[in-house]
């Protein structure tokens, strides 16, 4: 049996004050025909990444509107996750040697998980490449009933996917009844599916990471981690991943400090169980930091959790997300929701969240990043107005109630298809 993730309860009505009664009423109307439907979300890790954050809110909200939803995590191994991390990189545009041994490692672990999957569901949603081939191994298993609808949710940017790796996964993906993507540009032209849906991820305004915090508490959290709340703070929150370009952020910061000597930089994130590359990237960033006491490098290893991340984002004068490739980047909407301007890489889902010149800036180089950071640190009124604009942009487009609405529509449309 696969690991079931325990979850806190959430109630849809609690969101009405933020998104309005009309949104709540729409959601309840969409959910009514689906009451009692059994939904399984399946991914590779219960914490440490954006998918896990999404599911921690989405599954309880499905339950709150009457669906029988649960979240399970597949079993992996160090070898399996080393392979799937390379797959992740390849699908985002890196070139790897996709060897028979790697394919065998992946498929053998998928078979193990297929044998462990139990239960009967109306809808099964598999997230990202790790479980993508699972459906191919289920055959006439009781889990794979004729009436069960299968959805593959791809959270990563396949704009420039390695063709060899994608062609390995494509036949497995095409077995699904539908696929869900962040934006149209991510979908490879070779994909042959009747139902392809576009639904960007969203943040939970009532999660610990996004709740309002009093300024004295924010300042005290910063002091506990050696950050001076009275000096300018630049912050990037992300997994320690080469696609997030943390070393490039340090380079931009050094250029900023030539003009704003008191500036500080914080790079904060978490280590995920399905990302063995994270510790290697951490070492690279530590080397690039080169002992600079004003470059703060923090993760869950230093007991940094959602409360601390919330405080750091609120303390920041400018938030950066300098990704080279990006599926979405939840931290962008998190920062905008807190009224902070964001300087984001012109990549993937970041361009959905940051309207260039309105909510922050889109950049494509270290030099642009430094220039825009200096501009915002030197014009606090501009920074504040961009943050306010970004908060309303997120309210209208990137809160978890909108994502719930999207998924209820997907399930409703799939339920109407003949078995």
Q: What is the pLDDT of residues 136-177, one digit of tens each?
A: 999 888 899 999 999 999 999 999 999 999 999 999 999 999
Question: Which of 206, 210, 203, 184 lies closest to 397 in space, CA to CA?
Answer: 203
On whether the CB atoms of residues 342 and 353 are closer than 8 A, the answer is: yes
On whether the CB atoms of residues 279 and 270 are closer than 8 A, the answer is: no
How far apart (Å, rounded) are the C-alpha atoms in residues 369 and 375?
A: 10
pLDDT digits (tens, 9 = 90+) for 313-363: 999 999 999 999 999 999 999 999 999 999 999 999 999 999 999 999 999
User: 300 pLDDT band (50/70/90 cuts)?
Assistant: confident
Count of C-beta atoms within a 10 Å radius of residue 95: 10
What pLDDT shows up at residue 140?
Answer: 85
How far apart (Å, rounded) are the C-alpha atoms in residues 395 and 399?
A: 6
Q: Which two tokens stand for residue 287?
A: 């080397």
Ordered domains of the chain (ranges, CATH): 3-202+399-415 (3.40.50.2000), 215-397 (3.40.50.2000)
Predicted confidence (pLDDT) at residue 180 exceeds the cutoff of 90: yes
How far apart (Å, rounded) are the C-alpha atoms in residues 169 and 133?
A: 7
On whether the CB atoms of residues 267 and 304 are closer than 8 A, the answer is: no
Predicted confidence (pLDDT) at residue 275 exceeds the cutoff of 70: no
On whether the CB atoms of residues 316 and 234 are closer than 8 A, the answer is: yes
How far apart (Å, rounded) are the C-alpha atoms in residues 307 and 35?
A: 34
How far apart (Å, rounded) are the C-alpha atoms in residues 312 and 309?
A: 5
Give percent helix, percent strand, percent coil of the chain, each to the nearest 5.
45, 15, 40
Residues in Cβ contact with 163 at an 8 Å cutoff, skipping those fewer than 6 apart = none
How far apart (Å, rounded) are the C-alpha atoms in residues 92 and 235?
A: 24
Range of lowest pLDDT (114-118, 159-163, 299-303, 317-321) = 299-303
* Bridge partners, residue 399, by sequence: 203
β pairing state of 318-321 and 3-4:
unpaired
Predicted confidence (pLDDT) at residue 26 exceeds the cutoff of 80: yes
How far apart (Å, rounded) are the C-alpha atoms in residues 122 and 131?
A: 18
Range of lowest pLDDT (111-115, 273-277, 302-306) = 273-277
pTM of the model: 0.93
User: 210 pLDDT band (50/70/90 cuts)?
Assistant: very high
pLDDT digits (tens, 9 = 90+) for 40-87: 999 999 987 789 999 999 999 999 999 999 999 999 999 999 999 999
Q: Which two tokens stand for residue 399?
A: 């809160």
pLDDT digits (tens, 9 = 90+) for 220-271: 999 999 999 999 999 999 988 889 999 999 999 999 999 999 999 999 987 7
* % of the chain beyond a pLDDT of 90: 91
How far apart (Å, rounded) are the C-alpha atoms in residues 130 and 294?
A: 38
* Bridge partners, residue 39, by sequence: 69, 123
H-type alpha helices, 68-214: 78-91, 100-116, 163-173
């Amino acid at each position: 049996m696969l690991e079931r993730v325990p979850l806190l309860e959430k109630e849809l009505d609690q969101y009405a004050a933020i998104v309005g009664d009309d949104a709540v009423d729409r959601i309840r109307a969409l959910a009514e025909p689906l009451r009692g439907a059994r939904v399984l979300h399946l991914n590779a890790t219960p914490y440490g990444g954006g998918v896990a954050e999404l599911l921690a809110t989405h599954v309880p909200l499905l339950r709150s509107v009457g669906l029988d939803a649960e979240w399970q995590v597949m079993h992996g191994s160090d070898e399996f996750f080393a392979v799937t991390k390379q797959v992740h990189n390849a699908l985002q545009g890196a070139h790897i040697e996709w060897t028979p041994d790697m394919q065998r490692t992946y498929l053998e672990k998928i078979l193990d998980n297929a044998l462990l999957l139990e239960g009967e569901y109306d809808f099964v949603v598999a997230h990202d490449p790790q479980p993508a081939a699972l459906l191919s191994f289920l055959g006439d298993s009781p889990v794979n009933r004729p009436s069960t609808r299968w959805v593959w949710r791809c959270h990563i940017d396949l704009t420039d996917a390695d063709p060899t790796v994608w062609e390995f996964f494509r036949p497995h993906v095409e077995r699904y009844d539908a696929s869900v993507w962040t934006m149209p540009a991510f979908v490879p032209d070779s994909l042959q599916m009747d139902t392809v849906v576009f639904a960007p991820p969203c943040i939970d305004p009532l999660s610990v990471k996004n709740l309002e915090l009093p300024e004295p508490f924010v300042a005290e959290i910063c002091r506990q981690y050696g950050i001076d709340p009275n000096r300018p703070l630049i912050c990037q929150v992300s997994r320690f991943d080469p696609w997030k370009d943390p070393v490039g952020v340090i380079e931009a910061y050094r250029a900023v400090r030539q003009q704003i000597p008191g500036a500080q930089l914080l790079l904060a994130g978490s280590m995920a169980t399905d990302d063995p590359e994270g510790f290697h990237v951490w070492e690279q960033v530590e080397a690039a930091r080169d002992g600079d006491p004003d470059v703060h490098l923090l993760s869950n290893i230093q007991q940094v959790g959602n409360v601390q991340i919330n405080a750091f984002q609120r303390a920041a004068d400018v938030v950066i997300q300098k990704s080279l490739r990006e599926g979405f980047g939840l931290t962008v909407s998190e920062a905008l929701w807190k009224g902070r301007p964001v300087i984001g890489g012109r990549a993937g889902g970041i361009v959905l969240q940051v309207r260039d010149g309105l909510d922050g800036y889109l950049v494509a180089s270290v030099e642009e990043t430094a220039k825009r950071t200096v501009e915002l640190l030197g014009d606090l009124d501009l920074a504040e107005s961009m943050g306010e604009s970004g908060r309303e942009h997120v309210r209208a487009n990137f809160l978890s109630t909108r994502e719930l609405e999207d998924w209820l529509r997907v399930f409703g449309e799939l339920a109407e298809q003949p078995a």
